[in-house]
Structure 1
Amino acid sequence: MLAFVLLMAVVGIATPQQFWPSLSFVGNSLADIAPFLLLSIAIAAGVKATGADQLIGAAFRANAGKAVMVAALVGALSPFCSCGVVPLIAALLAAGVPLGPVMAFWLASPVIDPEMMLVTAGVLGVEFTVAKTLSAIVIGAVGGYATVAIQKAGGFSDPLRGIEVSTCGTSAITKPAKPHWKFWDDKDRMKDFVGEFRRTGWFLLKWLSIAFLLEGLMTNNLPMDNIGQTLAGLGLWSIPAAAFVGVPAYLNGYAAIPLADTLMQMGLSKGAALSFMVGGGITCIPAMVAVKAMTRLPVFLTYVAIALTGSVAVGLLYALWGGVIG
């Protein structure tokens, strides 16, 4: 929070005309996602209070290979935004769920959700929506399996920062204790729920405040018209360029839809637009800040590398598909 105050002070001194718009952007962004965040925080806190985290952790550890694909599918089809999944991810990590399935879920979830599918189909077409959905699933699965392979080779031995991981003893083999679903009847469990709710809520408030401030400053100062015209003239190179431009320029899944439509009207190819939306969605500033806050540098760099290379790959494949079909 001190960093947020200092950053706002710099904005106020360097560009006073952007001080109130930037503060308003942060407030509006937090207000927009508040319902989703409160729901996901409550679910995460409830999982811990009921003891279901041990059951979840045991199930995922016993079936890590299948869990990666399931996590990629669930992530692509879940209704939570890139910020809303953060408390759920924290709960899974704390429950001892392997990093591979969590990485798959984290990569797939920000790209699309059921409501976004409908909006995307209405503006950009059904074909583009299908391509974006498949991209989320494929990148999530590839990232998850790559993480599993890295861990089997001895990497990511200590991947998390500030999260206590429950190994649940031998719960992957021995059946864990049955969850106590009516946790509100138990004083200690209710105390756990409230404590977890407060910890996760504070974690998200302080990190997302900085993330939204950085996002607002970048998007307000990027000349997207000039960038769009430049990208449209790069030919095949527009696909990797669009993926990297998506990192600072991407607002959120819904705001990016009309932006991608405008870029395509300027001449940007569908493949490059897909790379922009997929890469920008996974690596949007709030998502990256949350990942960095929860994981150590090697895991964070792997996350970013998979997001960018994956978004370039799906853009090239979509361009190839369009060329063959066309």
Structure 2
Amino acid sequence: MFEFFTWLADVLTYDIMGIERATKLADAIHFFIEDTSKIFFLLTLIIFLMGLFRSILSPEKIRGYIEGKPKGVSYFLAVGLGAVTPFCSCSSVPLFIGFVEAGIPVGATMAFLIASPMINEVAVVVLGTVIGWEMTAIYVVTGLLVGMFGGWATDFFKMERYVEDYVWKIRTGQIVTPSYDTTWKGRIIFAWGEVKEIVGRIWKYVFIGIAIGAALHGYVPTSFFAEYASADNLFAVPLAVLSGIPLYSNATGVIPVAEALLGKGVPIGTVIVLMMSVVAISIPEFVILRKVIRIQGLVYFASFLALAFIFVGYMFNALVS
């Protein structure tokens, strides 16, 4: 299905640019061209389709599905809906306020906010086409479990006490949601607007991710990763988690890096926790959430996620080996 992008990279790299095959430069440039064309094609297509979906399944409907459910059920619904709804970190604050305003437990709200950026549908499709559906399924299942566990931990440790006071004082109906044309023409306009808005916001991070992946693919020898990032190195997983914290990207932007690392033989568990760390516990994500959660709550939550990711990394490395 995606042979066209390989052919395009062949033509541009070897025929038009005239770069000699089987060299480090050729490998890096071929990787960059193929992944850039493939990922941006998929981004445009999937974001448009999910924009149509989002015009039907609004945040208010999401809130309605979860509202009033028992905690265990609410965690399950929250991560499931988070996985199929295209809300990113920029939506965290209004979604958080809306959920709390509706009386949904803070744990279920955090479960949704973990799952939504980590397992967004664009990342799943791109990841599946780039590194295979089996590893994508591992990533999705792990993300769902981490989301549910994170929601449970939020309630268990009573982290609602760290929610800013003004959030609890917001009355029902105070949050004004935008309206749009609900005809099919209006939905198409809305979906195309989603493409322009989301791609316009993340394209630079996708390019950076592909460039890093291309450099790793073309220039970093496999022996380097065999020595420093193998499953035998007990520090590789914690370092992968720490490496993701200062970075800023969505799941789509980090996929080319994951592809290159897997191609170099880095264990699947180490790669998965790097992806999860970049998306779920990066500094920009917590800067946004700081508007509604006090610093103590963010520290506890980030520490919990980091420990959960480290456990997941060790577990999957052991299972695969």
TM-score when scaled to structure 2? 0.62
Instruction: State the Cα distance separating 1:307 from its structure 2 match.
Output: 2.0
Separation in structure 2 between the aligned mates of residue 279 and residue 104 of structure 1, nearest angstrom: 15
Corresponding residue for 2:311?
A: 313
Q: Is the 8 A contact 2:67 2:102 kept in 1?
A: no
State how far apart, in whole Å, the 2-side matches of 1:92 and 1:191 are: 11
Instruction: Give the residue type in structure 2 aligned to 1:280.
Output: V
Contact 1:93–1:163, Cα closer than 8 Å, also in 2:
yes
**1:106 corresponds to which letter in structure 2?**
L
Structure-2 residue corresponding to 1:251 = 249
Q: Percent identity?
A: 23
CA distance in 2, matches of 1:62, 1:275: 31
Please say if residues 248 and 284 of structure 2, whose CA atoms lie closer than 8 Å, have aligned partners that are also in contact. no
SS in 2 for 1:315: helix
1:160 match: 164
Q: Residue 162 of structure 2 contacts residue 297 of structure 2 at CA under 8 Å; is this kept in 1?
A: no
- Using a 3 Å threshold, how does the CA distance of structure 1 residues 299 and 193 change in structure 2: closer, same or farther? same
| Cα separation, 2, equivalents of 1:191 and 1:82 | 18
User: Which residue pairs with 2:186 in the alignment?
Assistant: none
CA distance in 2, matches of 1:271, 1:163: 37
Aligned to 2:274: 276
Q: Deviations over 1:155-179 (max 9, x none)?
A: 54352354244587xxxxxxxxxxx
The residue aligned with 1:198 is: none
Distance verdict in 2 for CA 1:315–1:190, change over 3 Å: closer
1:295 partner SS: coil
Offset, 1:136? 1.1
Residue in structure 2 matched with residue 233 of structure 1 by the alignment: 228
Q: 2 CA distance for matches of 1:321 and 1:191?
A: 46
Deviation track 1:49-80 (CA, whole Å, cap 9, x = no partner) reads xxx89x849x6345223111211222123222
Matching of residues 2-81 of structure 1 within 5 Å: 43=58, 47=60, 56=64, 60-61=67-68, 63-81=70-88
Post-superposition shift, 1:322? 0.6
CA offset at residue 142 of structure 1? Answer: 0.7
Rate the CA distance shift 1:276–1:289 in 2: closer, same or farther, 3 A: same
CA shift digits 1:23-61 (9 cap, x unpaired): xxxxxxxxx9x9999x79x955xx4xxxx89x849x634
Q: TM-score, normalised by structure 1?
A: 0.61
Q: Distance in 2 between matches of 1:261 and 1:232?
A: 19
Aligned mates of 2:311, 2:284 — CA distance in 1: 23
Change (3 A) 1:264 1:298: same
Equivalent position of 1:3 in the other structure = none
Residue 104 of structure 1 is matched in structure 2 by 111
Task: List alignment gaps of at least 5 residues for structure 2.
Answer: 1-43, 179-200
- CA-to-aligned-CA distance 1:241-300 (integer Å, 9 cap, x gap): 111101223522111111111223344221110110112111234322221222112221
CA contact (8 A) 2:85 2:121 kept: yes
- Which one of 142, 155, 169 corresponds to residue 149 of structure 2? 142
Q: For residue 291 of structure 2, give the secondary structure of its aligned residue in structure 1.
A: helix
- Is the 1:238–1:272 contact (alpha carbons within 8 Å) kept by the matching residues of 2? yes
For structure 1, the residue ranges without an aligned partner over 5 or more in a row are 1-31, 169-188, 195-210
CA contact (8 A) 2:225 2:266 kept: no
Partner of 2:197: none
RMSD: 4.2
Q: Does 1:95 align with 2:107?
A: no
Q: Secondary structure at the match of 2:78?
A: helix
Number of residues of Structure 1 aligned to a counterpart in Structure 2: 244
Contact 1:275 1:312 in 2 (8 A): yes
